[in-house]
Amino acid sequence: MTAPLRVGILGLGTVGAAVYQALLRHTSSIANRSGRPVTVTAVSARDKIRDRGIDLTGVAWFDDPLALAASDTVDCVVELIGGADGMAKSAVEAALAKGKHVVTANKALLAKHGSSLVALAEKHNATLNFEAAVAGGIPIVKTLRESLAGNQVTRVSGILNGTCNYILSRMELEGLTFDACLADAQRLGYAEADPTFDVGGFDTAHKLSILASLAFGAEIDADAVYVEGIASITPLDLIMADELGYRIKLLGVAERTQTGIEQRVHPTMVPKSWAIAQVMGVTNAVNVAADIVGELTLVGPGAGGNATASSVLSDLVDIARGIILPPLGMASSALAVLERAPMQRHEGGYYIRLAARDRPGAAAGIATRMAEQAISLESIVQKRPPASRAADPAGKSGAPVPVVLITYATTEEAIRKALDAMIADGHIAEPPQLIRIERG
């Protein structure tokens, strides 16, 4: 058996501690699978005296992450600090510049600097592995980069944020509001004190940009991702989705279209018959469509210490085995610059909920504006919320009435023009709700 792979861990939070414990727990089996031991020789974290439930006897402590990244006592650096810039970026760059391999779970860093970091790794004959950066314990990076290397991927989509999926699941199953579910998610530790990064869709967008790069052989371009969050989703939207045979999920979707590569994150109505519609709670799921294999769906834990540690260990075992692959599936010089598909060109069905003013001509005016944009309607549903029906059973209050429109396939541009015209006409009392429908 050859010399150990000496590992330095930057960051000893939930994931860092889980990685350390797992390496100790599975020392023998990892060595047998790798052909060499994988040993933590150095660590760095902000608080040396904090009790993390792990025994660091014999492990070198570095107060300065940069000093660890450059140290001759490690062959591979595991970056678990987090953040797109600052110390995480500096430490990864320092390690790669010294020819050290890097394993990271940092999707924000990769989304912003991934292409330049990959080029730096190539320059110094090192590798940058990041299975843990997307979908936690689901091996989607290896699936795209290795298992489907002979396929042409046409679409990759998924539930990539457990916080959002948990909130939408609770809202649907228990009839709760977004605010109530968010507060509960924060209490349980599923959501941060400032949840914007998760519920605003930005976390999903970072992950999607990485998957799109792997799927389509392109540079990572997080700025190309169209992003909407879930804060506008109401219990009525979930009730209507259920009645229409759908569930609402926050999806990240990257796909080839005639106008380029679409990269979009937004609440989406998916048919209940789809496997991804059955994924509830904090679980993640990724669906891949390719020309040879057809469709694959991978489901599993998207976050948490053990799930993320599992992916980190997988990357470490590859490095210990001497498996050094291009991080994005091909040499950085071969990566394309994706042609962005404008969101206005997106085509599909739409769910539109309007707060229509209860007055003569409103319904006709709404229909006229849809017809002007050649938008065909599959169904129109007028639905008073239960509370409104109880207070005004005859429906004579004059309060705005929820009207739900389901369209056949049309363009985003047509929908936006029709809605802008309705707002200008004064036919609707509140900003319209728009949710895209995936029908396959």
Cite the beta strand spans of 343-395 per DSSP E.
347-356, 377-382
DSSP 147: I
Give the count of beta carbons closer than 10 Å to the beta carbon of residue 83.
Answer: 12
CA separation for the pair 311, 15 (Å, rounded)? 11
Q: Answer yes or no: are the C-beta atoms of 10 and 61 closer than 8 Å.
A: no
Handedness of CA 96, 98, 102, 104 (dihedral sign): negative
Q: How many Å separate Cα 57 from the centre of its chain?
A: 37
The DSSP letter of residue 74 is -
One-letter identity of residue 324? I
CB 317 within 8 A of CB 30: yes
List of E strands, 47-189:
60-61, 76-79, 101-104, 128-129, 153-159
Residue found by looking up tokens 């950066």 in the block: 133
What distances in angstroms separate CA 25 from CA 29, 31, 40, one per listed residue?
9, 12, 12
| Nearest alpha-carbon partner for 251 in 224, 217, 279 | 279
H or E element in which residue 211 lies: helix 202-216
Residue 207 is among the residues annotated as catalytic for this protein: yes
Calculate ∠ Cα 224-293-103, nearest 5°: 55
Distance CA 70, CA 90 (A): 11
DSSP structure class, residue 432: P
- Annotated catalytic residue within 48, 207, 272, 417: 207
Phi, psi angles (nearest 5°) of residue 224: -85, -5
CA distances from 147 to 141, 159, 256, 322, 348 (A): 9, 21, 20, 18, 30
Q: Which of 211, 220, 293, 222 is nearest to 255 (CA)?
A: 211
Contact between 293 and 151 (Cβ < 8 Å): yes
Catalytic residue annotation? 207
